[in-house]
Structure 1
C-alpha cells in the first residue's frame, strides 16, 4: 500500500523545551503538565490549565525517565508527586482528545467512515487524512492509498475509531482538508510515541507493528 505524499506539518507558533531531551519544539507537539495546589503533577492535555507549564515530549520512555529522575520536581523547583501510571494516563488523555476531534469532524461533515465512502472521497480528491484501524485486516487496508499530499494514521484501534463515529467498530475513515484535519494530525503525532506497539513509520508512511515483516 502506498503511504507517500506527506506534506509539511504545522511548525509555526510558540515553542517550548522538553525537560528530558532538551529539544525545543512547537507546543502542539509536546505534552504540558502543571503543578496542582496539592503539589501533584497533572497532565494538561488541552494546554489550558492555569499555572506554569512543564513540557515533555509525548514519548513513553521520556515520561518514565522524567518520573524516575525527579525531573518534574527540578522543573517545578519544588518537591512534587507524580501519579502512578503517568504515561498510561497521558496516553488515555490524548486518545480521548483525538477521538473527540474526529467525532467533531464527523458532526461537521468533515469526516466519513466505511470503506466505500472513504474510497469515494479518495477518488474525488476530497480526503486530507486517511485513518485505518491498527487491528484491521492488512489486506483490506491495502486497497486504499494515502491521499495525494495527505496523511495516513494507523494507530487507533477499531473500537477507538468506532467511538468517534458512534459505532461499535470502524476500520476505515477519512477527513477533509481543513482546520480539524490539522488538529487531528497533531494529536495523532502526540499519541504515536505513547503506544508501545507502534514502531517507526512517520505519519504519511507505513506504521509497522512489532513483529511485522515485509
Structure 2
C-alpha cells in the first residue's frame, strides 16, 4: 500500500532554478515568490499568483541566504522590499497548507486520528503515511511504526495536528492511499525544510 506515495521523480514534471543554491529542482521542492504591490516580495506557496516567479529551495538555510544576500533584488532586476519576517511567514503559510490538506483528507475519509484508529490502519496496511506531533511523548510515539515503503510526517505540533481533526490536540494520525495523500506528503516535505533543525531526519522505525 505504501508504494502509492512515492518520492518525486526528478525526471518528471516542471523544474525551476533556486536563486540561493543555483540548483535546478522540481517545483514541488521549491517555494515561489513574486513581486507584489509596492515592490514587496510576496510568498506564493500555492504558485498561482500572477507575475514572474522567483524560486527558492524549501529550506530555512536557502531562504535566509536569499534574504541576507539580497538575491531577491538580483532575481527581480529591480529594487524590492523584503519583509523582515519572510522566513517565518513562509513557515506559517506552509503549516497552514498542510493542516488544511489533512483536514480535507479527513472529511473525505482519507485520514484518521487517535492511537487505536491509527494502529488499526497500520495493522491492516491501509495507511501510507504516519503523522505524529513533534511535541508528543516519544515513548507513546515509538509504539507506532511508519508503514512499509510509506512516509513519516513528524514536524507539526499537537495543536496544529489537532486543528486538522477539529480537536484541541492530536498526537497520532494516518493517511490512506489516494485522495490528497500525495499532496499532503509534498507540502509536509516543504514544511520540514523550514522547520526541522536537522533537515527533518527521523528516528521513527521503518522510515
With the shorter chain as reference, the TM-score category is over 0.9
Contact 2:118–2:172, Cα closer than 8 Å, also in 1 = yes
Report the TM-score when normalising by structure 2.
0.92
Q: Distance in 2 between matches of 1:183 and 1:154?
A: 16
Q: Is 1:10 paired with 2:11? A: no
Match of 2:198 in 1: 199
Cα distance in 1 for residues equivalent to 2:6 and 2:161: 25
Do 2:193 and 2:199's aligned partners in 1 also have CA atoms closer than 8 Å?
Answer: no
Distance in 1 of aligned mates of 2:199 and 2:139: 20
SS of equivalent to 1:186 = helix
1:85: which partner in 2?
Answer: 85
**Structure 1 unaligned regions, length at least 5:** 208-214
**Aligned-partner Cα distance in 1 for 2:199–2:193:** 10
Q: Give the 3-state SS of the residue equivalent to 1:38 in structure 2.
A: helix
* 1:179 shift after superposition: 4.1
* Shift of residue 52, structure 1, vs aligned partner: 0.4
1:167 matched to 2:163: no
| Backbone CA RMSD of aligned residues | 1.8
How far the C-alpha of 1:77 sits from its partner, in A, is 0.8
Q: CA deviation at 1:181?
A: 1.0
Structure 2, unmatched stretches of 5+, are none
Q: Quick one: distance in 1 between partners of 2:30 and 2:200?
A: 19
| Matching of residue 143 in structure 1 with residue 143 in structure 2 | yes
**1: CA distance, partners of 2:129 / 2:79:** 43
CA positional deviation for 1:201: 4.5
Q: Is the 8 A contact 2:32 2:47 kept in 1?
A: yes
Kindly report structure 1 stretches of 4+ aligned residues shifted beyond 3 Å: none
* Distance across 2 between alignment mates of 1:104 and 1:93: 17
TM-score of the superposed pair, with normalisation by structure 1: 0.89
1:180 positional shift: 1.0
